[in-house]
């Protein structure tokens, strides 16, 4: 049985992202990092110019454009692109990857799509900017609709987010946003859904979403999982060794691998990660263990046993 998945490599062109803020703020550094992730097996590069970590402050449209457009243009000039989930898929000579822009502003999305992106990853699920769905529909691009309670600067405020049933609430939200996108003219096969792990959720909310992921997969669209290096993993790993403080961001790879493998087993098919190569290897082994055929993106050949 074939059960494909795609790896979305994170390229943060920001000074304040929780994991790698400032490391790839320069255009050359960001392009080089993106190409490195493609070499490791990334099928999608997600380029973001505004941090969405808890407590992050918004970035103006002009500044976001200044950060992301040269990077997208540079990656496109290096031959990256592709038609994405609703088109003909990856192909051509050598490794290629779809370019995604991580933004909730329609003007940024429009400019990024013109520059070579073909996927809009909107953490607000088209709520922050009422023009976003129309921009996606008119361009024929793919989009990812994510659940988030509140806004980045408020989503984890004191008292903690509350849900009657986090899985039921997230599913109802994603279903409603999916229906809106369809009404606006976005083709169903162009839409990805993301439960927003860590976005306005407690540790237990995150774990419950992962446990009951098949309930979200039942919506019929590819599910994106973004657990990479997140705080709840740091707390779980700290408790495992009796530490009082969460383990450092640099020490959360094991938790990232575990959550992505479990999410894959439960039906997720797109994995947004910082560490592409180790997640690629973990998913390849998981696929083999589950009796699923995995095909290497870069060569089109099935890895030898």
Distance (Å) of CA 83 to CA 88, 110, 177, 199: 6, 16, 23, 29
Catalytic entry in 229, 252, 272, 280 = 272
Question: Cβ(141)–Cβ(112) under 8 Å?
Answer: no
As given in the structure block, the two tokens for residue 299 are 């060569």
C-alpha 209/C-alpha 146 separation (Å) is: 13
Q: Which of 203, 195, 166 is nearest to 266 (CA)?
A: 195
Q: What is the pLDDT of residue 299?
A: 35
Q: Which helix (H) or strand (E) holds 7?
A: strand 6-12
Catalytic residue (choose from 171, 201, 212, 230): 230
The pLDDT of residue 159 is 56
**CA 166/CA 160 separation, integer angstroms:** 13
- Residue-by-residue DSSP string for 197-219: TTSS--HHHHHHHHHTHHHHHTT
Q: Is 230 a catalytic site residue?
A: yes
pTM comes to: 0.88
- Residue 78: the pLDDT is 82
Task: Specify the pLDDT at position 84.
Answer: 61
Provide the pLDDT for residue 302.
32
Whether 284 and 7 have beta carbons less than 8 Å apart is answered as no
Task: Give me the residue spans of the domains in the chain.
Answer: 6-224
State both tokens at 158.
Answer: 């004191």
Active site residue 127: no
Tokens 């992730």 correspond to 37
Ordered mean pLDDT values, 10 residues apiece, the chain (305 residues): 77 70 73 94 95 77 95 90 51 66 98 97 96 97 93 58 94 98 97 96 96 98 97 96 94 97 97 97 94 56 34
Please give the DSSP secondary-structure letter assigned to residue 19.
T
What local confidence, expressed as pLDDT, does residue 24 receive?
57
Cβ atoms of 193 and 224 within 8 Å: the answer is yes
* Homologous superfamily of the 6-224 domain (CATH): Dihydropteroate synthase-like (3.20.20.20)
What per-residue confidence (pLDDT) applies to 291?
86
- φ, ψ of residue 122 to 5 degrees: the values are -110, 110
- d(C-alpha 10, C-alpha 4), whole Å: 20
């Amino acid at each position: 049985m074939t059960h494909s998945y795609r790896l979305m490599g994170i390229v943060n062109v920001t000074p304040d992202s929780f994991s790698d803020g400032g490391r790839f703020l320069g255009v050359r550094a960001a392009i080089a990092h993106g190409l490195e992730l493609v070499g490791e097996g990334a099928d999608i590069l997600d380029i973001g110019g505004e941090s969405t970590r808890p407590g992050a402050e918004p970035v103006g449209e002009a500044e976001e454009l200044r950060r992301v457009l040269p990077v997208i243009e540079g990656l496109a000039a290096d031959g990256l692109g592709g038609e994405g989930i609703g088109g003909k898929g990856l192909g051509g000579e050598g490794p290629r990857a779809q370019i995604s822009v991580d933004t909730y502003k329609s003007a940024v999305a429009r400019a990024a799509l013109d520059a070579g992106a073909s996927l809009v990853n909107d953490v607000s699920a088209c709520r922050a900017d009422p023009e976003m769905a129309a921009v996606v529909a008119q361009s024929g691009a793919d989009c990812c609709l994510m659940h988030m309670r509140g806004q980045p600067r408020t989503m984890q405020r004191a008292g903690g987010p509350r849900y009657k049933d986090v899985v039921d609430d997230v599913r109802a939200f994603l279903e409603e946003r999916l229906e809106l996108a369809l009404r606006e003219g976005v083709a169903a096969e162009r839409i990805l859904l993301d439960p927003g792990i860590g976005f306005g959720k407690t540790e237990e909310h995150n774990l419950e979403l992962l446990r009951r992921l098949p309930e979200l997969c039942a919506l019929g669209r590819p599910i994106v999982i973004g657990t990479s290096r997140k705080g709840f993993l740091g707390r779980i790993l700290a408790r495992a060794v009796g530490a009082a403080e969460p383990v450092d961001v640099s020490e959360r790879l094991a938790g990232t691998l575990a959550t992505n493998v479990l999410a894959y087993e439960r039906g997720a098919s797109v994995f947004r990660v910082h560490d592409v190569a180790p997640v690629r290897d973990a998913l390849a082994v998981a696929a083999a263990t589950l009796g699923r055929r995995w095909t290497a993106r870069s060569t089109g050949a099935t890895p030898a046993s």
